Structure 1
Amino acid sequence: MAGCYRKCAFFLIFIFVFSLIGMPVQAAENEIKITTKTGFDGKVKTGRGFPVQVTIENNGKDFKGDLLVNFYPTYNSTGSKVLHIDVPKGSTKTFNVSLQGLSEENQYNNQNVQSLFLYEGSWKNGKEVGFRGSKNLSPRYTDPERKTLGLLSENPDRLKELKSLPSDAMIDTIVMDESILPEDRLGLDLIDYLVIDEYPFSSLKPAQQEAILEWVKNGGILIAGGAPDAVQAYGSLIHDLPMEPVNEAEANLTGLKSAIKPGKELEKVPVFYGKTKADSEIVYKSGDIPIVAKRISGSGEIWQTAFSAGAQPIASWKGYGDWLAFLLSQSHVSTNVTSQGFINPYEQYYMDFAEVNSYFPSSHFSLGQIFLMLLAYVVLIAPALYFALKKWDRREQAWWIIPSFALLCSAAIFGIGAKDRIASPQVSQIGVFKAEGGQLQGIKAVSLLSNTSGDYGFAFPRGEFSGIPESSYNSPKHFSVFESGRKEDIVTFPNVEYWATRTLYGPATKKEAGEFVMDLKFAGSKLTGTIENRFPYDFENVYVWSGSKQIKLGKLDKGGSLKVHETLGQNYLSGPLTPGYGHQMPSTAQDIPKMKKSKLEYGAVEFLYNKSRLRNIPIVYGFTKDPVVNADLTGQSEKSTSVSLIYQAAEIEMEMSGPFSLKEEELSADLVAIKGEVFEVPRGGREASIDVGQYEYILHVPSQLNKDSTRFEEISVTLIPGNAVFSLINAETGESIKLTDKTTKFTDKPGRFITKDGLIKIKLEKTGQNDPFVRMPSVTIKGVAGK
C-alpha cells in the first residue's frame, strides 16, 4: 500500500512539474495574437512583389522581438523578411512589410506549412515563442497573364463603372486601401495600372508617395484624374503630371471611343486643364482643350485626364470601362509572355542570367598533369628514395618515409587546388543595367562561395536591390533572412556549409547614376563623333550595337571622352537583336568570364531592351568591373570579382540619302491585347497563339528613318491565310483600312500609316476558337531618305 502511495505521489509531482514547464509557452500563446492581410484585397501574382499587413495584439507583458515572414517567389527560392516589433502590454500595433513574391509551385505553398515565426529578442539567438492566430499567409492567386488596375479614391463607389472592366480586356480591378499602401516600390509590383482620383495624394506618408513615383519610373502606368484643387491634392506629384490643371471649363466628350458610344450627357463635362509640358503628348483633344495627356517618366508613364474619373456624368456612362480599357491598351506595359506562355520572371532571370554567376574558377590539375605526377612518382621519386636509403643504409626506414612522402605530395596537391577556397570566402557579382533619365534599372546577381561553415551576411544600399535567394532548404527556419535598416538592407544566409554556394538575384536600381553624353553622326555607313562618360565607373570596353553588329570602340574611363570613327557596313541603324546564347554553361574556368559577358549581353536585350518603349534604336554599352549596386560581405574580408553591363539608347544624328528598303525582319514587333488573351509569342513576334478577340500588331521603324527626313514611297502588306482579319490603321485619322487581298501595296501617301514615333499599327481581329495560331502579316517598306 505504501508503495502505491509513493507511486501516486511521484505521478502527481511529475504532472505538476510538467505543467510548470509548459506554462510559459502556453502563456505566450495566450498573450499575443497575430493577424495578417496579404496583398491587395487578398490577391497576389506569381513572381510579383506584394504588401503584407501584420497586426499584433498583446494582452500580456511588454514584448520586444522579431517576426519572420517567409516568402517563396519560385519553386526553388525561399526567404524570410524580418519585422522588428515592440508592442507594449495591452496594446495593438500594425506593421507593413513588402515581400518579393509567392509561387503556387513552391513546396511551401501549403496552408499546413508554417510561414510566420515569432522570437522574443533577436531571431538569431532569441527564444521562439508561440502566438494565437494564423501561422501562415493566405493569398489568393490571380492570373499572372491578366493585368491589374488599382483604384485609389476616397470614395471608390464613384468609380463603379471601372470596378469591372470588360472581361475580354484581360484587366482585373482592385480597390486599394491606404492602410496597406507600401512604403517601398516592391509592394506595388503586382499593380500594372493605378488610377488616382479625388484623393489627397499629398496626405500620404512621404515614403508612400516616393514608393508610387518609383513604381512609375520602374514601368508602372499612373492615371491621374482632374480636380478643381489639383495643385493642393496632388502635392509633389503635380510636378510630374503632363498638364497643369489651372483652368476650368466644360468640354464635349462625345468623341471618346467605346463600344457604347457617348450620348448627349457627355456634351458638357466639367474639365480642368492647362498648358502641357514640353516633353508631354496630347492623346485626345476636344476642340482646343487637351482632355488626355501622357508623359514618360523613367520606364513608366503618367497619364492625366482633364475630367475627374468619378465625376458625373461620365462616371455613369456605360461605355466608360470599355473606353478606359482601350486607353490602357495604348500604354506600354512589359509582359512575361514567351514562346512557352507565361513564365515567372524570377525563373527566367535565374536560367538565362544568374546561374552562370554561381560558377567560381579555382586552381586545379588536368588529367594529363595528374598522370605526369603519378608517372614521376612511380618512375623517378620512388626509385630515387630507394637508392638514397640504400646508400645511407637506412632501408628499414622506408616503411614510414615513402608513405609520408606520398602523404606530403597529396597535401601539396590538395593545397594548390583548394588554396583559393581555404583562404577567404569568394563573392561574384554581375549586373545588367539600362541608363535612362540619369537612373539605372536592371537585374543583378550576387553569389557566395564559403570557406568555412557558419552564417554569412550581405549588406546593400537601402532600396537598391530586391533580390531573392536561390536555395533548396528543407526547413523553413533555415531560409535566408532579409532585414531593412535606415541606410542599408542586410541579407543573412544562416548555417552555410563548407565550400557551399549561395546566390541572390533580382531587380536592382541606382539613382543619380550618370549617363553617356553622345555627339554622334551617321552618314554613308560611317559613324563618327564622340562619347563622353559621365558615369562614376571606368569601362574596360565600350561598344555600339545595331542589329546583329557589335562594334568595339575601346576603353573609356570615368570623366573621359572617346572619339568614334567606325564603318558599320549598314545603310541605316536599328535596335540590337537578341544574341543566341540560350542556356550555355561554362565547361572550363577560362570560359566563366566570357560566358558572364555573353549572359549580360543576352540579358540586356531580352530582359531590358525588348521590354522598353525605346525600340529599333541602336544602343551604346560598356563593361565595367564596378558592381554598380555593391554587395558587402559583413564582418569578413572576401575575394571579390565583378562585371556589369550598362547600356543607353544611342542619340545619333542621321545623314542618310538615297533609296532604302526595309524587310520584315528589320522591323521589331509587339503584339498588344485590346480584348483577348495572348497565350504564346515566339521570339521575333512574327507569329502567336492567341484567344478570340481584338489585338494590335505594332511594328517599329528604325528611329533614324523619321518622318521629317524621310519620304516613304510604298508600304506592302502580305497576308498569310488564317482565321484572323487584319486592318491597317491610319496614324493621322485613326481610321482603319481592312486588308482583303493577299498582298496590298499602299503608294498614295504611305507615310500616313506611320506615327511620328515611327510605329505602324495593324488591327487584328481573331476569329475561330479551334486554332489559336496566327501568322502576322509580312510588311515591307520602301522610301527615300533625305527628302
Structure 2
Amino acid sequence: MKDKIKSTRKLLAILVLGILICGVFIRENPAIICAQEGPFSIDAQLLSQDFSTFNIQIILSNSGENWDGIARVRIENKYYSLNCAYDTKLSLPQGSTKQFLVKIPKESLDDMGASISISLLDKENNLVASKAFANFFLDGADTLSMGILSDSYTSLTYLDMGGKDLYYGGAELPIKLYELSQDNLVSSLESGLVFLVIDDYNTGILTDAQRKSIQDWIEAGGMLIVGTGERAEEVLSGLNFLGITCSKINVPSEHSDQSQYNYEFEKFSMAELEDVNDQYNINGDIVSFITSHEGGAIQVVPYALSKLVLQDVETYVYDLLVRVNSYTKILYDSGDKFLQNEYVIRRIFRTFGNGGNRLNFDVIRVIVVLYVIFVGPILYLILRFLKKRDFYWIAVPITIFVGIFLVYIAGRGFEVVDTRVYSVTVEELGTSDQEAVTYMHCYDAGHKEWMLQLAEGYEYCGPLWSEHYYDKEEDKYHNHIVKEGERISFGLNPDVGFEDAYFKAGNAERKATGTISFDIKLEGSEKKDVIANEDFVVSGIKGTVTNETDQDFAYFAVIMYDLLFIYNDLPAGETRELDKAAYISSKNYDDVVEDYLHDYMNEVYRDKKKKDTDLIAALGIGVSVANSRQDSDETVVIGVTQDWNKVVDDSCSETSYGCLYSVQ
C-alpha cells in the first residue's frame, strides 16, 4: 500500500513539474514575439502631420551581425489590427543605425487611440525582433490632461468624472486636472493640454499673447470649454475670437425653455448668448453652443460650470466632453467629410469601366451558346462516325466539365488578363506646397496576392479607408505597401477573385504646368424656380474661363458659393464664355459633392451618356477633393482630362485621368 502511495506521489510530482515547465514556455514565447529586440534597438516618433499623412519616423540600430530584411509597421488596438502592412526593405550592417519615414494617409487611419507595432523580418519572413508603442498617435499618453482656468477651481474638480475613463480617439483614458493661472497658462498649453476649461474667470485681464496662444492651441487640435452664467460678460470679455456675445442674464427659473432640458438647468442663472457669425450648432441635451475650429473644437454653455449641482453629474460631464470631442478634427472634419465617406468614393469609382462587381462576360455567353448549339450534336455525329454511339452518355458529362472549365478560364482571364487599375490624379495649379494626389480603384481576377509598383516620385501610398482585421499575426494582412529605395509598391491579398481595392497615393513631383484663369460673377434674377442663395436669388453665373494648361478638358466644373456648375469642352489655350451650363446645382443637397453624386451623375445615367461616364466620374473625384480644400467664399474651377500620366510603372491594365483645378 505504501509503495502504491509513493508511486502515485512520484507520478503527481512529475505531472506538476511538466505543467510548470510548459507554463514557463507558454509565458516566454509571447514575450519573445511581442517585445524581444535582441541585438536590435527599435524606436518610433510621430513627427508633425502634414495635410495628407501621418509621418512616422523609425529609428533602428543593430549591435549584432549584418542583417538584411524588412521593417514592418502595423497599426492595431487591443482587439484588432488595421488591414495594412507597411514594409520597408533595408540592410542593417553590424553597429549601424538607420532612420526613415513611413507615411500613412490620414484616410487609412480612423482610430487615433491605436498603437503601432514595428517588426523586423528576415529574408525568410521569420520574426527576429519587434516592439509595440501604445497610444502612438496620442503621443503615448496614458491620461487626458484638462487645464482649468477659474476663480473656483475646487468647484470644478468633478470634471475628472471621479477617475472614470473617457473614450477619446479610440482609447479609454482617465482625465488628469491641472489648476491654471495667468502665469502658467501659456506653458501649460504648449505642454500639450487636451482640454481647457474657462469658467468664473475674467478673461479681460489676459494679454494679447495669451489670447493668441489659446487660439493657436485650439487650431492645433485643442478643445476649449467655456462656462458663462452670471459672469458671462467677464468670461467672454477676452475671448472675442469665439464670436459669442451675451445680451442678458436670466435669473433661475426666468428662462422659458429651461424646463425642457434633460438636466435641472432651471435652478441656475443662464446667459442669453448670441452666435454673432452663425457658426455654432446648438445641442439641446446639455444646452451648449459647439463648433469645429481648424483642428480643434469650441463649446460654450450659458451657465457657470462651477455652480452646477446635478443629480447625475458623471453622465453630464461625459456628455459635455464627448460632444466637444466629436467636433475635433481627430473625429470630425467637416471640410473633408465627403472625401472620407466610403459610400461616396465607392459609388463614384464603381462607375468606371465595367467595375469589379459588374464585369462584362460576353465571352462566357458566346462559349455557352456555342456549347448548347454545337457541342452536343457534333459530339453525337463524331461518335456515330466512329461507331461508338454507346459512349455518348459517358462523353456528355466529360464535355460538360470541359465546358465549365472553359467558362471558368474565360471569366477569369478573358475579361481581366492583368490587374485592372482606374486612377484619378488631382492637382492644384499655381501652388508648390501641395502634392499631386492619386486615387485608385483596382481589381484582379486571381485569388493570390498581387503587387504593383508606382511610378517615380510617389512618396506615400495606403488604403483609401480603414478596415478592421482581426488576425494580428505578422504574416496576415489585407492591403500591402512595400518601399524599396525610393520606389513604392502597393497590393492586395484578396479574399476572393475580382475583389475591389482602393488606394490613395501622393506624388511630390507635380506633372501639370500652367493655370486656369477665370473672371466669374453670380447672376441674379427674380425668376421662379431658381437657386436660392443666402444674400440674393441666383439664376446662374456669367464670365469667362481660360484654359492656360497644355491639357484639353472634356468637362470642367465651377464651385462658387456652395453652388455647382458643369460645362463641357474647354481645349488647351482657349477661353470659354459661361453662357450655357450642362448642369446647374439643384440645391437639393447641403454639399456640392452630394449634389454631384446624387443629382448630376444620376442625370447622366438616365440620359445613358455611356461614352462620357468615366470622364464624368473622374471629374466627381476632382470636385470632392477641391471642395474639401477650398473655403466657402472662394471660387474653384476644375477640369478633367483623359490619358493622364500613368500612375503604375508595372504590368497592368491602367486607365488614367487627371483633374486640374485653380482657386481664387
Superposition TM-score, scaled by structure 2 size: 0.51
Deviation at 1:623, TM superposition (A): 2.0
State the SS of the aligned residue for 2:568: strand
Partners of 2:328 and 2:185 in 1: CA distance:
32
Give the direction of change, closer, same or farther, for the CA distance of 1:545–1:553 in structure 2 (3 Å limit): farther
Equivalent in 638, 653, 657 of residue 639 of structure 1: 653
Q: Which residue of 2 aligns with 1:540?
A: 554
Q: Which residue of 1 aligns with 2:503?
A: 504
> Is 1:36 aligned with 2:26?
no
Corresponding letter in the other structure for 1:82: T
1:32 alignment partner AA: P
**Equivalent position of 2:16 in the other structure:** none
Say whether the 8 Å CA contact 1:429–1:627 is kept in structure 2. no
Q: Are the structure 2 counterparts of residues 365 and 51 from structure 1 closer, same or farther at C-alpha, using a change threshold of 3 Å? A: closer
Higher relative contact order (CA 8 A, sep 6+): 2
Amino acid at match of 1:476: E
Tell me the residue number matched to 1:119.
121
- Write the letter of the residue equivalent to 2:88: V
- Rounded to whole Å, the distance in 2 between the matches of 1:164 and 1:319 is 21
Say if 2:618 and 2:659, in contact at 8 Å, map to a contact too. Answer: yes
Equivalent-residue separation in structure 1 for 2:121 and 2:294 (angstroms): 41
Residue equivalent to 2:456: 461
Whether the 8 Å CA contact 1:576–1:618 is kept in 2: the answer is no
1:438-490 Cα deviation digits (max 9, x unpaired): 67656532233234434413224335544336666533324445455664333
Match of 1:620 in 2: 637
1:527–1:568 contact (8 Å) kept in structure 2? no
Matched to 1:608, the amino acid is A
Identify if the C-alpha distance between structure 1 residues 533 and 500 changes in structure 2 by more than 3 Å, giving closer, same or farther: same
- How far the C-alpha of 1:59 sits from its partner, in A, is 4.1
Match of 1:342 among 332, 347, 352: 332
- What is the CA distance between 1:416 and its match in structure 2? 4.3
What is the alpha-carbon distance in structure 1 between the residues aligned to residue 94 and residue 239 of structure 2?
51
Partner of 2:4: none
Give, as a single letter, the amino acid of the residue that structure 1 aligns with 2:203.
A
CA distance in 2, matches of 1:161, 1:321: 14
Are 1:518 and 2:517 counterparts?
yes
Percent identical pairs in the alignment equals 11
Query: Structure 1 residues 401, 518: closer, same or farther in 2, change over 3 A?
Result: same
Q: Partners of 1:338 and 1:599 in 2: how far apart? A: 31
**Residue 426 of structure 2 contacts residue 625 of structure 2 at CA under 8 Å; is this kept in 1?**
no
Match of 2:204 among 253, 260, 277: 260
1:425 matched to 2:419? The reply is yes
What SS does the aligned partner of 1:423 have? coil
The change in CA–CA distance for 1:161 and 1:37 in structure 2 (over 3 A counts) is farther
TM-score, scaled to structure 1: 0.44
Deviations 1:607-665 (A, max 9, x none): 4325423x34554322222455x43254xx2111223433333x7xxxxxxxxxxxxxx
Structure 2: distance between partners of 1:411 and 1:393? 28
Structure 2: 5+ residue stretches without partners? 1-20, 139-143, 145-167, 171-181, 195-201, 213-218, 221-234, 244-278, 280-290, 297-325, 524-539
Gaps of 5+ in 1: 1-14, 146-157, 166-171, 176-189, 191-257, 270-283, 285-299, 302-317, 652-787
State whether structure 2 residue 561 is matched by structure 1 residue 561. no
- Asked if structure 2 preserves the Cα contact closer than 8 Å seen for 1:579 and 1:602, the reply is no
User: Structure 2 vs 1, CA of residues 415 and 532 (structure 1 numbering), >3 Å: closer, same or farther?
Assistant: same
Question: Matched residues in 2 for 1:407 and 1:499: separation?
Answer: 23
What is the identity, as a one-letter code, of the residue corresponding to 1:477? D
Letter in 1 for 2:453: F
Alignment of 1:241-640 (within 5 A): 259-261=203-205, 333=294, 342=332, 348-354=340-346, 357=349, 359-360=355-356, 362-364=359-361, 373=369, 377=372, 382=376, 395-399=389-393, 402-403=396-397, 405-407=399-401, 409-421=403-415, 423-437=417-431, 443-452=437-446, 453-468=448-463, 474=471, 475-479=473-477, 480-484=479-483, 487-491=486-490, 493=492, 499-505=498-504, 511=510, 513-518=512-517, 520=519, 527=542, 529=544, 531-535=546-550, 537-544=551-558, 550-556=565-571, 559-564=572-577, 566-567=579-580, 577-580=592-595, 581=597, 600-613=618-631, 615-627=632-644, 630-634=646-650, 637-640=651-654
User: Would the alpha carbon gap of residues 31 and 539 (structure 1) be closer, same or farther in structure 2, given more than 3 Å must change?
Assistant: same
The answer for the alignment partner of 1:700 in structure 2 is none
More helix by share: 2
Supply the distance in 2 between the matched residues of 1:476 and 1:321 (Cα, whole angstroms): 53
560 and 332 in structure 1: CA distance in 2 versus 1, 3 angstrom threshold: farther
CA shift in 2, pair 1:570/1:402, >3 Å: closer
RMSD value, Cα: 6.1
1:86 aligns with 2:92: yes
Structure 1: distance between partners of 2:583 and 2:69 = 64
Q: Distance in 1 between matches of 2:332 and 2:348?
A: 23
Distance across 2 between alignment mates of 1:66 and 1:321: 54
User: How far 1:118 sits from its partner (Å)?
Assistant: 1.3
Hey, what's the Cα distance between the residues in 2 that align with 1:389 and 1:505? 58
Return the offset for 1:321.
9.9
Residues 169 and 330 of structure 2 are in contact (CA less than 8 Å); yes or no, is this contact kept in structure 1? no
AA at the equivalent of 2:431: G
Specify the alignment match of 1:139 in structure 2.
136
The answer as to whether partners of 1:483 and 1:491 remain within 8 angstroms in 2 is: yes
The one-character-per-residue Cα deviations of 1:279-312 (angstroms, maximum 9, x if unpaired) are xxxxx9xxxxxxxxxxxxxxx99xxxxxxxxxxx
Q: Are the structure 2 counterparts of residues 104 and 448 from structure 1 closer, same or farther at C-alpha, using a change threshold of 3 Å?
A: closer
Tell me by how many angstroms 1:395 deviates.
Answer: 2.9
8 A contact 1:144–1:342 mirrored in 2: no
CA contact (8 A) 1:350 1:505 kept: no
Mapped contact 1:38–1:138 kept (Cα < 8 A): no
The answer to whether the 8 Å contact 2:516/2:546 transfers is yes
Q: Is residue 441–residue 508 contact of structure 1 (8 Å, CA) maintained in 2?
A: yes
Which whole-Å CA distance do the structure 2 matches of 1:414 and 1:353 have between them?
30
Do 2:556 and 2:639's aligned partners in 1 also have CA atoms closer than 8 Å?
Answer: yes
Deviations 1:117-166 (A, max 9, x none): 1134x5xx4643136xx444442637569xxxxxxxxxxxx99643335x
Q: Per the alignment, do residues 484 and 130 of structure 1 end up closer, same or farther by CA in structure 2, a change over 3 Å counting? A: closer
How far the C-alpha of 1:391 sits from its partner, in A, is 7.9
Q: Call closer, same or farther: CA 1:545–1:518 in 2, change over 3 Å.
A: same
Q: Distance in 2 between matches of 1:623 and 1:605?
A: 10
